[in-house]
């Protein structure tokens, strides 16, 4: 009688990990972050609580990893690098494209609910805040900064600009509007942020009435 093959522990672990990811994201969407517990995640995923604590230290660790993995999986399915900023040689077009993708994510409850939960918890829990910054925000901001440095080399933006400050001109308003819900977010909104960030508020030469110096009205 042939021996049965031994169970594949790697496959079993991956199935459990996937079930835990899904359970964590579902629960935080249904009940909110404060009411989501490791016990609840374990019950929803049909795994032992000790399985979760063997891989993660807290529910925040589980949720952050589940959220990051979901974003990476969605990017792979769409056929592009997760959170990449394109470099086509046209900075304005590249920024508009990546910010439009960000808007789509922020309007998708699958992304928006856990992201908002983690951001809110990070304000009251310093450890969660550091995790959210180091593992989610910093990698994205670093890619923006790299694209702006590339634009400096091609002369699209001035060479003395600080990329980390420059990126705040379009990233920070979007984040604030989304987190504080002070207004709608849309492709048109982020396109405008890019326009203002790259060209400022002063009139351009083509917009200045005849006889008016660029930047202001004719003096007395």
Instruction: Quick: pLDDT tens for 74-94.
Output: 767 666 666 678 999 999 999
Q: Which residue matches tokens 């030469």?
A: 205
Helical spans, DSSP H, in the chain: 9-31, 38-45, 49-55, 59-78, 91-106, 109-124, 126-132, 138-153, 163-166, 168-180, 187-199
Please give the average per-residue pLDDT across 119-145, as a whole number. 86
Rounded Cα distance, 118 and 121, in Å: 5
Check residue 1 and give its pLDDT: 46
Output the CA–CA distances (angstroms, integers) from residue 68 to 103, 110, 178, in the order listed: 17, 12, 19
pLDDT band at 198 (very low <50, low <70, confident <90, very high): very high
Phi/psi at 165 (5° precision): -80, -40
Instruction: Dump pLDDT digits (tens) for 52-79.
Output: 999 998 888 898 899 888 877 776 766 6
Task: Give the count of beta carbons closer than 10 Å to the beta carbon of residue 167.
Answer: 21
Token pair 């609580």: residue: 49
In the structure encoding, which two tokens stand for residue 208, read together?
């200045």
Would you say the pTM of this structure is higher than 0.85?
no
Q: Report the pLDDT value the prediction gives residue 7, as an integer from 0 to 100.
A: 43
Mean pLDDT of the chain: 84
Query: Does residue 8 have a pLDDT over 50?
Result: no
Name the packing angle between helices 9-31 and 38-45 (round to 10°).
Answer: 120
Report whether 103 contacts 115 (CB < 8 A): no
Average pLDDT over residues 152-181: 93
Q: Tell me the per-residue pLDDT of 110-128, one tens digit each, with 9 for 90 and over.
A: 888 888 888 888 888 888 8
Q: Where are the domains of the chain?
A: 83-201
pLDDT value for 144: 94
pLDDT at residue 218, rounded to an integer: 37
In terms of pLDDT, which residue wins out, 215 or 64? 64
So what's the pLDDT on residue 169? 95
Q: Sorting pLDDT into bands at 50, 70 and 90, what band is 108?
A: confident
CB burial string 169-197: b at 16+ within 10 A, e below? ebbebbbebbeeeeeebeeebbbebbeeb
The third-level CATH classification (topology) of the domain covering 83-201 is Tetracycline Repressor; domain 2 (1.10.357)
The two tokens of residue 209 are 């009435």
HEC-encoded secondary structure of 73-102: HHHHHHCCCCCCCCCCCCHHHHHHHHHHHH
Largest CA-CA distance found in the chain, in angstroms, rounded: 104
């Amino acid at each position: 009688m042939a021996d049965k093959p031994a169970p594949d522990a790697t496959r079993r672990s991956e199935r459990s990990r996937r079930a835990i990811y899904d359970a964590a994201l579902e629960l935080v969407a249904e009940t909110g972050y404060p009411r989501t517990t490791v016990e609840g995640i374990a019950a929803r995923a049909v795994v032992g609580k000790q399985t979760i604590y063997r891989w993660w230290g807290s529910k925040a660790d589980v949720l952050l990893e589940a959220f990051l993995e979901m974003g990476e999986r969605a990017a792979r399915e769409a056929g592009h690098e997760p959170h990449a900023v394109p470099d086509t040689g046209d900075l304005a077009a590249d920024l508009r494209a990546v910010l439009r993708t960000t808007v789509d994510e922020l309007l998708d409850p699958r992304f928006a609910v856990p992201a908002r939960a983690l951001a809110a918890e990070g304000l009251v829990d310093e450890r969660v805040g550091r995790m959210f910054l180091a593992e989610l925000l910093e990698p994205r901001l670093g890619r923006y900064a790299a694209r702006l440095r590339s634009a400096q080399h091609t002369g699209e933006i001035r060479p003395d600009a600080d990329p980390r400050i420059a990126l705040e001109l379009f990233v920070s308003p979007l984040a604030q509007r989304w987190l504080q819900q002070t207004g709608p977010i849309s492709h048109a909104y982020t396109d405008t942020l890019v326009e203002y960030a790259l060209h400022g508020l002063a009139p351009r030469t083509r917009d200045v009435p005849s006889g008016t110096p660029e930047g202001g009205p004719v003096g007395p």
